[in-house]
Structure 1
Amino acid sequence: MINKRFPIVLMLEPLHACNLTCTGCGRIREYESTITERVPLEECLFAVDECGAPVVSICGGEPMMYPQIGELVAGILARNRHIYLCTNGMFIKKRLHEFTPDKRFYFNVHLDGMEKNHDIAVEREGVFREAIEGIKVAKAAGFQVCTNTTVYKETDMREVEELFEYLGPLGVDGHQIAPAYGYSAVNDREIFMTRDDIHEKFKDIDRLAKKFPIRQTPVYLDFLKGEHDMPCTAWGNPTYNVKGWKGPCYLITDGHHQTFEGLMTETPWESYGQGNDPRCEHCMVHCGFEPSAALGINVGLADNLKMLAWTLR
């Protein structure tokens, strides 16, 4: 079974500590009991080797608070992996000297809107300005930078467009965008969307994708609009953190496995997904469905042509 299912992106969480308390974040709440723990550097690199995914997304928590983050990135690059270092951007300026520009490495800066609304979402004033300063410093030093925007029920997509317009002159290399997942650990349930809400919210995403360098695949964007159906392939984006291999996925926790093989072979994958588990009913997050798009699951000739054009752009 482990040969039938294989990873594309490793979600590596070296710690769950963070300097912010973002309203929609389930991590700092779910892992409150282990918030001070860290995955040792050697263990992080072993997880990269054990998993074998070609792409590593270093997340958390705030990974820039990890004491050995520079060594971790260097170690992963030495293994010829591509890296997205997810960050709120507040520590980029302070710790930039620990990194070296590389075509396989991106800073992935979290921005959920323009200054007022982003600062509300992260529950602290001044974060937007610090993130923008981090982006400017990183770009000036020759690093690649993309942004990550989470869409909630109250998100105004016109503001997302305004944000991308604002980031263009800064030289940002691309944008990731996806709907939020309704974490059970988050008290404010009204910020999350149903599938119908998501379809409505993303109905105009094609126009934005033509205008800006959005990194999501066209098949996944069709899925968000409700024009394409895809199964969840959460095994394509396994998560490793202080408790081990998180199962079944980045968003739902039914247990932790001590080995990657254990996660892949012991998880009852058929029990999850829309129609199988109520927790999955309204999930359309990229980590569960982009692997389906990348692997060509439930796609036709027109979809393949879209993917080819997107790849070659």
Structure 2
Amino acid sequence: MHGDASSVFHLHPLKRCNLRCLHCYSNSSPQATELLSPQLARTVMAQAARWGYRALAVSGGEPMLYPALASLLHYGADLGMSTSVVTNGLLCRTRKDLATLRHADTVTVSIDGLVAQHDHMRQRTGAYEGAANAVRRLADADACVWVACGVTTANVDDIEQLAANAACWGARGIAFHLVEPAGRAAALPREALLNDDARLLLYATVALLGALLQAAIDIRLDLIHRDTILRCPALIHASPPPPDALPAQAVPVLVMDTDGKLVPVCHGFHDRFALGYAGSHADLQSLWNAFALTTLPGITALAIRALDELRRPAAPQVINPGDWLAGQSHRDVPLFWQPHPARASAPAGFRPPQ
């Protein structure tokens, strides 16, 4: 298989979850019923592999509630993809649960701060202890387990202790990411989200924490200094890909939502930039060809404007490239580019297969 080793196909096969978290970007909940058919998931996974995507990342909703999770992970491995699952950990209780997750090369358990903050964000007493126990069980089973923490102003002071705890539990690493006002998190009070100064402080803090704990645990943060992006515009798609680039080289992150919609760059990128709906197209290569011709240039134009925004003195010092570009996608469309009519919505009468 060809393609960039960092290229990832994100699969969201369901919206159902055993929790209803305050910051959920996908608005998942116990009441959600949307479910992607395993057949369609496998069809698109196979095409993604041919397009050069080297990694499969499964989230949701809660992936442990998806009946075909183990078979999709097996299929991804057969396609030559590395596989990963993001879970809240509360359904990792039995040997059977462990066996399902062990099909993934990496399992990431979401833990958003220490006890009080995590349980509050997850709206469930005991959620922290359940997630911590999942990390311990996975580590004891010799799984490659990580912790992911969504950072807000309420839990930013917890990150040092959480990193130390994760190391003690046996996690290989911990990844911090900024909670953004998307999905259910859009209803969080503005003061819950880190401002530019707080993000810069977090950037420095995580760098120091990584140096202090480098022998115990790998620490990552999804923020990049704007000077790095200005030196390498491709980080936010601000330079067009070569004409012969594989899809995975042109768009290193491709997301498949529960309704079959294929979205470039990151979850939450505006629908007008979507490739389309996989379930309504028998020929996925033609879907990409149309996207590359009519929509990919629009993403490049959007990214160039986003790059100009970063050059302004008042621009943030550190950003998450995907989230930054996604924010721009909702605010601005280059006037000289018109989206393909099929990008904005599903075809009339289309329903995702169950």
Q: TM-score, normalising length from structure 2?
A: 0.68
Which segments of 5 or more consecutive residues in structure 1 lack a partner in the other structure? 290-313
**Cα separation, 2, equivalents of 1:246 and 1:188:** 25
The Cα shift of 1:165 comes to: 0.7
**Cα separation, 1, equivalents of 2:302 and 2:266:** 10
The Cα shift of 1:101 comes to: 4.0
Task: Give the corresponding residue for 1:21.
Answer: 20
Task: Give the corresponding residue for 1:131.
Answer: 131
Alignment pair present for 1:9 and 2:19:
no
Of structures 1 and 2, the larger Rg is shown by 2
Q: Pick the aligned partner of 1:51 from 48, 53, 62.
A: 48
**Contact 2:136–2:169 (8 Å) recurs in 1:** yes
**Cα separation, 2, equivalents of 1:287 and 1:214:** 22
**Contact 1:146–1:176 (8 Å) recurs in 2:** yes
Task: Give the corresponding residue for 2:271.
Answer: 254
**Contact 2:5–2:54 (8 Å) recurs in 1:** no
Task: Give the corresponding residue for 1:170.
Answer: 169
The Cα shift of 1:249 comes to: 3.2
Q: Pick the aligned partner of 1:284 from 311, 316, 319.
A: 319
1:112-131 counterparts in 2 under 5 A? Answer: 112-131=112-131
Task: Give the corresponding residue for 1:214.
Answer: 218
Kindly provide the amino acid, as one letter, of the partner of residue 208 in structure 1. L
Q: Pick the aligned partner of 2:37 from 33, 37, 40.
A: 40
**Contact 1:59–1:85 (8 Å) recurs in 2:** yes
The Cα shift of 1:57 comes to: 1.2
Which segments of 5 or more consecutive residues in structure 2 lack a partner in the other structure? 238-249, 278-283, 325-354
The Cα shift of 1:155 comes to: 3.0
Task: Give the corresponding residue for 1:152.
Answer: 152
The Cα shift of 1:124 comes to: 1.1
**Contact 1:70–1:99 (8 Å) recurs in 2:** yes
**Cα separation, 1, equivalents of 2:193 and 2:22:** 11
**Contact 1:151–1:178 (8 Å) recurs in 2:** yes
**Cα separation, 2, equivalents of 1:147 and 1:117:** 15
3-state SS of 2:142 partner: coil
**Cα separation, 1, equivalents of 2:321 and 2:218:** 13
- Residue by residue, what CA displacement relative to the aligned partner does 1:39-90 show, whole Å, maximum 9, x if unpaired? 1112212222212211111111111110111111111122221112000001
**Cα separation, 2, equivalents of 1:286 and 1:64:** 29
Task: Give the corresponding residue for 1:300.
Answer: none
Task: Give the corresponding residue for 1:99.
Answer: 100
3-state SS of 1:67 partner: coil
Identity of aligned residues (%): 16
Alpha carbon RMSD of aligned pairs, Å?
3.4
Kindly provide the amino acid, as one letter, of the partner of residue 254 in structure 2. P
Task: Give the corresponding residue for 2:242.
Answer: none
Distance change >3 Å, CA 249–CA 135, structure 1 → 2: closer
- Residue by residue, what CA displacement relative to the aligned partner does 1:269-300 show, whole Å, maximum 9, x if unpaired? 124348449xx9879336569xxxxxxxxxxx
The Cα shift of 1:6 comes to: 10
- Residue by residue, what CA displacement relative to the aligned partner does 1:160-212 show, whole Å, maximum 9, x if unpaired? 11011112122111111121222165212412234443113322221112214
Task: Give the corresponding residue for 1:270.
Answer: 300
Task: Give the corresponding residue for 1:240.
Answer: 256
Distance change >3 Å, CA 5–CA 125, structure 1 → 2: same
Aligned residues: 278
Distance change >3 Å, CA 116–CA 263, structure 1 → 2: farther
The Cα shift of 1:113 comes to: 0.7
